[in-house]
Structure 1
Amino acid sequence: MKVGLWFIFIAGLVASDAASAQHELVLQRLNQENAEHTTLSETDAQKAVLDKFREISLSKGACVPTSVKIEAPIAITGDPLFFGLVLSGKVKNVWRVYAVFEGCGNKSIQRFAVLDAADNNRLAVFVNQGRSNTSLKIMQDTAPMAGIQATVGARKLQPECNGTDMELMSTQVVNEGEGLGPEVYGTRYTGSWTESWRFKTCGVSFDVPILFTADGDRGAYTNIKGEAVREAVVQP
């Protein structure tokens, strides 16, 4: 399944994350780590994501953006995908950057992770198109299961479809429950929310609704509503 090359990239860095500690202890350590390392300026964030997206566009033979507008970078070192890397010293800090690129007509918002490695090398990684309240770890765990539901939908139209070309096209937050807690370094500890993830396989796109409920330990329980999967209306 194509869900961005960041799955492969991050997997190459991760050894293990054994730090499943209580919220307050985790928060204390995250505050310490973020205080000890430099922040990411908006200027540096713009350069990092623009360079990366230009590289991706060139590799695909697509339109290369001329400039970018971003939202302020947010530290996401609490994401279980990165927390162990920070504790082990492989990564100094990680930020989420939402960006809209200009010059190619596509105004869709794109999500990136920007990492400062221990050797001071700065890496921008494209995550997905659209907004999501999920950490990258939750997305990594949920995407294969959600993709199966899209394959089921595709087989109703094309029985021979096996879903091997499955691709996560975009995500959007549909609803946030009243009890949804604040984001803490890229994770949610309380509450629930619903998102719609669009997958494409065998030339057809499907919207898969997913209910997430925070588990209190930087993860989430997921309820993928297979019966509510619908063929997406794709704008030309």
Structure 2
Amino acid sequence: MIRRSARLRTWAAALLALSAGASALAAPLDPLGDPDQFRRDVEAINRKPLPDGEALARAVGNAVMVDAKVRGRCQPKKISIGKLEPVTLDGMIAAMIAAGRIENGWIASVRLDDCPPADPIRVLLLRMADGATLDGVFAGQGESLAWPTLSREALRATVAAVSQRLHAEDPQCAPRELTPTGVRVTGTSPDLGPSQYGIRLKGSWTELWTFEPCGHRLAIPIAFRTNGAGGAWWDIDQPGIQFAR
């Protein structure tokens, strides 16, 4: 069993790195300052209008096309963009806001309308500090309750588990990059709290992450448990990993 924790305030080092060369203007967020002021600042950031229109479609579409080319997937001509969910309190996003690099960030679920049936793509949408420029980044495929930083950290451990199992089952299979082709939530605890600008402060949930390297199919069960301080623990169920040729 692999267990790790992702904490909201462990990004202090990233904050320092991002701050290098940042604007001398007052930071829009100060996560280490007065908690009440921090809360008010987060709420003010999220009262601003959501991205929409052509700029939104272009940023999300570009992210989808880049992913399709990198992974050799279907390149859609038509997409449907779901509701934008703010991830302001995700550690990486909050650090970039505090450093004056971006204004806010959201996760969007994107359906590829004219491609073969598949789980939707998740795109991390960033609005730059100028309040206008949008940039989209592939953030995964499928349904997940894990916020971007948590998902990226869990992915590293999950890929390691997949690589280990692949080496045992098919030593000739050595893909250069492993990315889930599907993620779904398999259970939630009764006390699972709502999203608080991207993070959750209460409860636990389980997900199944699917990989399909070299024609094989690996399903990785992973459990997440919030730590009450903006982070979460995760456990990879090694005995529960399913491998199919």
Q: Alpha-carbon deviations, 1:135-160, whole Å to 9, x = none?
A: 11101111111222222322331246
TM-score, with length taken from structure 2 = 0.77
**Number of the residue aligned with 1:71:** 82
**Number of the residue aligned with 1:137:** 149
**What is the alpha-carbon distance in structure 1 between the residues aligned to residue 176 and residue 65 of structure 2?**
27
Q: Alpha-carbon deviations, 1:140-193, whole Å to 9, x = none?
A: 111111222222322331246667543333211111111100011111111000
Aligned residue among 116, 123, 138 for 1:105: 116
- C-alpha RMSD of matched pairs (Å): 3.0
Please say if 1:229 is aligned against 2:232: no
| Partner AA of 1:134 in structure 2 | A
TM-score, with length taken from structure 1 = 0.80
- Give identity over the alignment, percent: 23
**Number of the residue aligned with 1:6:** none
| Partner AA of 1:217 in structure 2 | A
Please say if 1:93 is aligned against 2:104: yes
**Number of the residue aligned with 2:18:** 15
| Partner AA of 2:18 in structure 1 | A
Q: Alpha-carbon deviations, 1:13-55, whole Å to 9, x = none?
A: 96279936898665433112223x4322366533431233234
| Partner AA of 1:216 in structure 2 | G
**What is the alpha-carbon distance in structure 1 between the residues aligned to residue 186 and residue 59 of structure 2?**
29
SS state at 1:180 partner = coil
SS state at 2:210 partner = strand
| Partner AA of 1:95 in structure 2 | W
Deviation for aligned residue 1:216:
1.6
SS state at 1:189 partner = coil
Number of equivalent positions: 221
Cα distance change on mapping 1:62 and 1:197 into 2, 3 Å: closer
Unaligned runs of 5+ in 1: 1-10
**Number of the residue aligned with 1:177:** 189
Cα distance change on mapping 1:14 and 1:208 into 2, 3 Å: farther
